[in-house]
Amino acid sequence: MKTNLSMNRRQRTLWTIVLGFLLLMAILFSKTWVNTGNILTNLETRNVAPSFEHLFGTDWLGRDMFTRTMLGLSLSIKVGLLGAFGSTAIALILGMAAATMGKVADQFISWLIDLFLSVPHLVALILISFTLGGGYKGVIVGIMATHWPSLARVVRAEVMQVRSAEYVKVSRRLGKSNGWIAAHHIFPHLLPQVLIGFMLLFPHAILHEAAITFLGLGLSPHEPAIGIILSESMKYLSSGLWWLAFFPGLSLLIVVRVFDKIGGSLRLLIDPTKAHL
Amino acid sequence: MRLEAKGISFKYGKNPWLFQDVDFEIEAGEVVGLTGVSGRGKTTFCRILAGFERPVEGEITLGGKPLQQTGVHPVQMVLQHPEQAVNPRWKMQKVLQESGPLDDALRERLGIERTWLSRWPNELSGGELQRFCVARALAANPKFLIADEMTTMLDAITQAQIWQAVLEAAKEREMGIIVVSHERNLIKRLCDRVVEL
């Protein structure tokens, strides 16, 4: 047995969550601790390779890439959280409605799910975002409106299964109302599904935001979004400025992984078959 | 007060009749055994009595009045498989409290230890879970209790312990019990009379 770490697995999992959460929060509120003056054009320090003064180097206008990356990630996390949250809410509402509101509602919602699944995410996302005039709002609404179908289907199946379980029937004979059963019996079963769904949607949302911004259909170019940073750096890759793409890309990857790790750890803590380990 | 089932017929969907025109009655405080060959619909009949299913034909009355569909059902049933009758995402304390506040005397009589209350259902054995199901049904203060193969998978000592607690509770409250079992000796030992389905 290892004794050098005097924590049990539950404590380690808790610490993972806390540290990951702190890291994400630090990036999300990076506006308060980075020197925003560094992203202004400074032609004296153009194209500087990574050093202690400029951790991620500087670009062709002398802007500090570390500052830009942090601000860009902050925006990306915001878009990701809002988009994933909206999608999860839509999925939860539609899934529960399909499973509890009768045959017609179920058929309609299932048809809607099939409809949205038959169109590639990115195409629908570009259309919606474009219709709403692009920008911050367009991207977020677009992500919310396109990422819910597969989760809605999972929620619907889960509700249907729990609804017909014996313990729900027993609960009904004990005089519990539909609302009470939904809140106490069905919701705890949905929580892990919804949580995992949310965690899986978040990277999707961020990467799709970066993708349509990269294509020039998302956020406007003056905003320091990760997608914009990556798409701009493409032009300079061939001239040897590798740090313009490498560090922002790596940071995006780390954020997504940290979020994934938090999701996995949370799941470990609330799942009855794993919670006591 | 008497529980009366008149002319009960039942079938699942378009399948042939499971049973037709069954009459059954039980007085308050009476212990009645229900036997029959496997597959004759004993469990289904009990589920109808406890309000889990509606009969296709016939009606059930309690004290002359038809049973209401809402509120706490006066006929509670302890199912054969306790692991299906307990929400796997609830701790045992919540399971017990679903039918009313905790009753320490009843808990101890059924041999449920206090430390079990903070466990998940998957951390208890079938017999331990079944005690919880019995306690939950009794805490709902039913007029009648249906024990559908309630102690079949338990060892003799546990079986005796649970039955003693249930019979004591029944005597105190004038509660009727319907015992479904294949165990002839158990039925002979417990029941005032036996009905064959």
Least CB-CB distance to B88: which of A169, A176, A272?
A: A272
What is the rounded distance in angstroms from the CA atom of residue A194 to the CA atom of residue A91?
9
DSSP single-letter state for residue B168: H
Least CB-CB distance to A272: which of B71, B122, B136?
A: B122
pLDDT band at A5 (very low <50, low <70, confident <90, very high): low
- What counts of helices (H) and strands (E) characterise chain A? 11, 0
In a domain, A12, yes or no: no
Per-residue confidence (pLDDT) for residue A1, from 0 to 100: 46
Q: What is the pLDDT of residues A55-102, one digit of tens each?
A: 887 877 778 888 888 888 898 888 889 999 999 999 999 998 888 888
Q: What is the ipTM of this complex?
A: 0.89
Mutate to test the interface with B, among A162, A174, A271, A274 (most CBs of B within 10 A): A174
pTM value?
0.76
In a domain, A80, yes or no: yes
Q: What is the pLDDT of residues A149-166, one digit of tens each?
A: 989 999 999 999 998 899
In a domain, A193, yes or no: yes
* Mean pLDDT, residues A102-130: 90
User: How far is A180 from chain B, CA to nearest CA, in Å?
Assistant: 11
Polymer length in residues for chain B = 197
SS3 A116: helix
Give ∠ CA A46-A52-A54 in degrees, rounded to 5. 30
In a domain, A28, yes or no: no
In a domain, A181, yes or no: yes
What are the start-end ranges of the H helices in A238-270?
243-270
In a domain, A276, yes or no: no
pLDDT band at B10 (very low <50, low <70, confident <90, very high): very high
Sheet arrangement for strand B144-148: B75-78, B144-148, B176-180, B31-35, B193-196
What is the rounded distance in angstroms from the CA atom of residue B87 to the CA atom of residue A92?
21
Q: How many other C-beta atoms can be found within 10 angstroms of the C-beta atom of residue B79?
A: 26
Q: Which residue of B has its CA nearest to A176?
A: B71
A176–B77 C-beta distance less than 8 A = no
Question: B87 — contact with chain A (CB < 8 Å)?
Answer: yes
- Residue range(s) defining the domain that contains residue A132: 63-258
**Amino acid at the residue A230:** L
pLDDT higher at B69 or B151: B151
Question: A102 — contact with chain B (CB < 8 Å)?
Answer: no
Least CB-CB distance to A166: which of B70, B84, B90?
A: B84
CATH number of the domain that residue A87 is part of? 1.10.3720.10
In a domain, A29, yes or no: no
For A37, counting Cβ atoms within 10 Å of its Cβ (0-12 exposed, 13-18 middle, 19+ buried), the class is exposed
Per-residue confidence (pLDDT) for residue A3, from 0 to 100: 52
Least CB-CB distance to B87: which of A167, A173, A275?
A: A167
In a domain, A129, yes or no: yes
User: How far is B84 from chain A, CA to nearest CA, in Å?
Assistant: 6
Per-residue confidence (pLDDT) for residue A273, from 0 to 100: 67
Res A2 pLDDT > 60: no
Res B64 pLDDT > 50: yes
Res B166 pLDDT > 80: yes
Question: B76 — contact with chain A (CB < 8 Å)?
Answer: yes
